[in-house]
Chain A
């Protein structure tokens, strides 16, 4: 059955053969408050055999609803699908539900964003895959087992046979996504619909999964409909791209055309907001994101501004050998059986007006570092010096006082505001609580701050749920500024935002840095954003800083193998790089859990020059 087709070669041929999927005039409406509201309008496209088509758009653009409509996975009562969807020559929308169940899995299979919740936790991986096999075809148990192991090997899970009896919780996120793909492949579908399959994964794992999808597509000659918000991923994987905006497909074309000759202003706006790793070569200071005129699509290049860093004075924040460990306890008497070495003798300095980025993948300790500095978690050892005061030795009331000087902005704008407080009260509260101003003054300041972050002062009486994600993040920034802090710890503060909003919020942060001489500790996993906004970069791995230095030097001349691996894994929004495989091994992130009594080896560093320091690898 194997018929390896190179997706690049197959493209001209596919024009002749019938498309696997043909969608015409798809309109999906949801019943909201008794009215049918269309969320996808008149979308038409085709997917040829062996072709990869990406649907790209920001949240709310209708890209996921499109894919769910094709599979008819929307709730029947509250949704209405119109138009025509031909899958493998059959009209999906007119099939009875029984036959539709056969279509799902057989003709088209789907993988989702959250690998952590898409598997049933109480059955073994092997059982779940073999179930997918036996329910669609006549196959004995023994054959199913053999086929399952073959599939697990196909998705490059190491030691597949020995992992047959493992449960989902024994697999990491990346490995679970491989299992999901194996399940999707079980019945050899003609079309694989991948709905943001790599969004929840770390960047090195994302690289592996993208490679795997490309590889499997060649081996199985499948078509892939890839739904994503990430232009970098699109550039790497898609033959053709559909750009969706507010429920409509505003532009369709080959990926090269979309990237280089995009016609619609929105397409151009989207692309110019995408941070590109490597685009900062030659720039010494951070650079704002270019903005795009919404009407014309003309790109307005940012003006380079002067240096904001003041290195003549003492550093505003000085961290020395900061160590934070979380004990793991087990058994009847909660005996200590080990510890998570979340932060392991981390040292750095941060100057007024400077942005230091902490980058790394999940579990590397970057967030815990930020939280240890603000003492939201108690560090085990080390010294944190904020504006001449040792933060770690402060008592309760002094600690409250200290917190005026260092503020945090969190990742999830939907969780970081109290839903029961108006935003005016939210911003004014710290001013009143710290006794800095009377309620009337606090209100005035809250109004000023709202204007400062680009919102309206008369929004003060509204509640958080009335705002969008980007607006909420602006509110969080306004609140963080209420106490005139010197340092702001931004913990993945732009990660949850759409790409155009992300660019705007980054620009806002840089504006504020310039006008208020703020120092940012910018915690992020996104290498491209970090390259844009930071003066200096610290790369964290397993709780330690493995490389730190000026941004230009770390990105231009990465020394540590992990930094290089991290940079190689970042998807670059350039279609010319499509087809390049990274040949990343199917490994997992290492765990920072250590047994009791583990003494970490003393790290040795070497100086590359101009403050660029690298940990010497063993």
Chain B
């Protein structure tokens, strides 16, 4: 499909929207900090096989629940595994669980929300009632039920979390669409004879995307914790493979004897969540052409 964006890009543009958004993001210190945190953990997770670290699943019965030391930088857990190695390998599962499950929720939820809000009528009634039914159930219970139904594995856990988080995005998107679709420019787009698909893609979606983006970054945090809960119940990451959530769940039994077991995964989750929130805020501002 020929796009109108091409028209603009091929024009002698003094300031392309993409480069402008990037410049604004660069000027936002908070967003850069967020980006740095996320990049740091992502690089760690990706390079885990290459790093000179211990086997995350290798146990050492002579070094059980050891405090951080030169040999074990971050200490060891209840069956003598190196926490540093488990943290790095666990980043894979946790980041994947957070990002992928939210991606599932957004990719499925947002289109439903767009259709529901834009067209209204019976289609909106059906989607909204089902969404409300889902929202009536606690998020985690839905996720557990779905994960149990799909069978225990990290992938299934992510799908379960994604589907449970989806109603939030349907509701949020629908509400935003309802306010945007009454703007004159949407009516103008209709009166100029554009297709519904084009209107939704170019007029509605870009104007409702900011709150969705912010919600998504917040949801990543929830999803990482949800993955932890599922792993604890044996429905997520399968032992002995590590994830921050499952490490945290084990650690809570030894809070007084070995506080470092809980501290590191807790700190990592905290940092990643902050990182995503800062980046989300920055992106929201950077993508808005109204702010200089």
Taking beta carbons and an 8 Å cutoff, which residues of A are in contact with B? 374, 376, 399-404, 407-408, 410-412, 415-422, 424-425, 428-430, 432-434, 438-440, 442-443, 446, 458, 460-461, 463, 465, 476, 479-480, 482-483
Contact = CB atoms under 8 A, between A and B. Distances in A.
Contact of B11 (A417, A420, A424): A424
Contacts, number: 116
B191 A417 contact: no
B11 A443 contact: yes
B188 A425 contact: no
A420 B7 contact: no
B51 to A, nearest CB: 42
B202 A418 contact: yes
A590 to B, nearest CB: 26
A417 B289 CA distance: 13
A467 to B, nearest CB: 12
B290 A479 contact: no
Interface residues of B, number: 34
B14 A465 contact: no
A438 B2 contact: yes
Contact of B184 (A410, A421, A446, A465): A410
A264 to B, nearest CB: 34
Centre residue among B6, B188, B203 by max chain A CB count within 10 A: B188
Given A404-B193, A425-B5, A433 B187 contact: no
Contacts of B194: 400, 429-430, 433
A479 B184 CA distance: 14
In the complex, the 3 A-B pairs of residues with the closest C-beta atoms, listed nearest first = A403-B193, A416-B184, A420-B206
Contact of B10 (A376, A420, A422, A440): A440
Nearest to A461: B13
A428 B4 contact: yes
Given A415-B183, A418-B203, A420-B206, A403 B191 contact: yes
Centre residue among B5, B7, B16 by max chain A CB count within 10 A: B7
Given A442-B7, A461-B15, A432 B185 contact: no
A476 B187 CA distance: 13
A221 to B, nearest CB: 46
A439 B15 CA distance: 19
A480 B189 CA distance: 10
Given A418-B202, A420-B207, A461-B14, A376 B8 contact: no
Contacts of B4: 421, 425, 428-429, 432-433, 439, 442
Contacts of A416: 184-185, 188
A440 B289 CA distance: 24
Given A415-B184, A418-B202, A420-B206, A443 B13 contact: no
Contacts of A420: 202, 206-207, 289
Nearest to A438: B2
Given A400-B195, A438-B2, A418 B7 contact: no
Interface in B182-215: 183-185, 187-195, 198, 202-203, 206-207
22 contacts: A376-B191, A415-B185, A419-B207, A420-B207, A421-B206, A424-B8, A424-B11, A425-B4, A425-B5, A428-B7, A429-B4, A432-B3, A432-B7, A439-B2, A439-B3, A439-B6, A440-B10, A443-B8, A446-B7, A461-B15, A465-B290, A483-B192
A473 to B, nearest CB: 12
Contacts of B191: 374, 376, 403, 407-408
A415 B183 CA distance: 6
Given A412-B184, A418-B189, A433-B198, A439 B7 contact: yes
Contacts of B193: 399-404, 430, 433-434, 483
B197 to A, nearest CB: 11
A86 to B, nearest CB: 40
Interface string B255-292: 00000000000000000000000000000000001100
B52 to A, nearest CB: 48
A438 B7 CA distance: 9
Nearest to B290: A465
Given A415-B184, A428-B7, A479 B192 contact: yes
B17 interface: yes
Nearest to A412: B184
Given A433-B195, A465-B289, A425 B7 contact: yes
A579 B220 CA distance: 68
A416 B190 CA distance: 12
Interface in B1-42: 2-8, 10-17
B8 A422 contact: yes
Contacts of B185: 415-419
A29 B205 CA distance: 39
Given A419-B207, A420-B206, A438-B2, A460 B8 contact: yes
Contacts of B190: 376
Contacts of A465: 289-290
